[in-house]
Amino acid sequence: MDKILVHGGRRLSGSIKVSGSKNSSLPILAATLLTREPCIVHGVPDLSDTNYMLQILAHLGAQVERASGTVTVTAAKIHSVAPYDVVRKMRASVCVLGPLLGRCKEASVALPGGCVIGDRPIDLHLKGFEALGSAVRVEGGDIKVFAPKLRGAQIDMKGKFGPTVLGTDNVMMAAVLAEGVTVIEGAACEPEVVDLANFLNKMGAKIEGAGMDRITVQGVPELHGAEHRLIPDRIEAGTFLVAGAIAGDGVTVKRVEPEHVRAVTDSLAKCGYAVDVAGDSISVLPNGEASALEIVTEPYPGFPTDMQAQMCALLSTNKGTSLITENVFPQRYMHVAELKRMGAKVRLEGATAMIEGVDSLLGAPVMASDLRASAALVLAGLKADGITEVSRVYHIDRGYEHLDEKLQELGAHIERVKAE
């Protein structure tokens, strides 16, 4: 198992290019199961999560070819059972349920593993399938769905902590081949949902309203092959913008959709950093002493929960007391104990973190608990004195394409070593 060593104190400068979106790639790759014809997806990042998804597609009978960032999937003949040993490593593997139900009218997918952030229930996905006319059973650790015929329906996808992105994706993919019209109320508005809808429409689906909280799907008899380029990964872009704020003397993030990261750039500007947007590039520069901030995480277009840990790392050395309230996954503070090991002053009260800015952090051995927490620890290490040793970096490889190499390009002294 690898570890990442971050030698703190180096200033970052220069530019990096953002990879294709992880959270778009998984449902879009799953959607290729909806047609017998070849689908070509460009900009697929080289991550353990995307590799798992390709393994799942191959297990289901699809032919999968990968040439650098371009993936071709031909699902001419598929079967509809994905057992535990295939899906156990990734929570997002549930997004094959919708396409399998849509095309095969049945599916059996093991309940997956994945991140440890709360329990992230998938009951909303199953409620959506039931509304379309599917029988749903959970037995022996498997989710089994079966429908002789899917019919359009009115479905509310809003959960306790807001809309569900994967749930919206899953129901949308099942509904494209249903008979009649499906209306998804309380739909997630994330850019990744829009990206999936655009891909499905290229395949011949009739979806309107993606990006708003009401999506309408007019069912069609069949879909055909399509070619698509993924949107840039807004969380990777945000992470590198925060790296530029934490330890940068002028960092430019290229191949980004500025509107998708507006909540992050607005927050950095409020802290006092100079943020410059030019086309599909964003630069961040220090601009005097950075100040404290109050953030509340919310579904898009609000501040993303997937950027909360990285902002904790940044605010731990900004002057004053910052407040972060986590409204999407209230238990998502696994990184706080590790930041405290580095000298951060953070107090948790329920879903709110109170961060008192300190003058400096100290390198320490820390452990990653989930994907974004691990990135936050690397970012804190950039600012810290001495060496920060981050273990369990397989979390990083799930969602960041070559994070250590891209930081090296910006001038960071960072190395990946084998753990003893």
Active-site residue set: 115
SS3 for 393? coil
CA atoms within 13 A on the CB side of 345: 11
User: How far apart (Å, rounded) are the C-alpha atoms in residues 122 and 104?
Assistant: 21
Question: Residue 11 carries which DSSP code?
Answer: P
Integer-rounded Cα radius of gyration of the chain: 21
User: How far apart (Å, rounded) are the C-alpha atoms in residues 345 and 359?
Assistant: 11
- Beta-carbon neighbour count of residue 231 at 10 Å? 22
Asked whether the beta carbons of 132 and 182 are under 8 A apart, the reply is yes
Q: Which has the closest alpha carbon to 205: 160, 167, 169?
A: 169
User: How far apart (Å, rounded) are the C-alpha atoms in residues 240 and 249?
Assistant: 13
SS3 for 230? coil
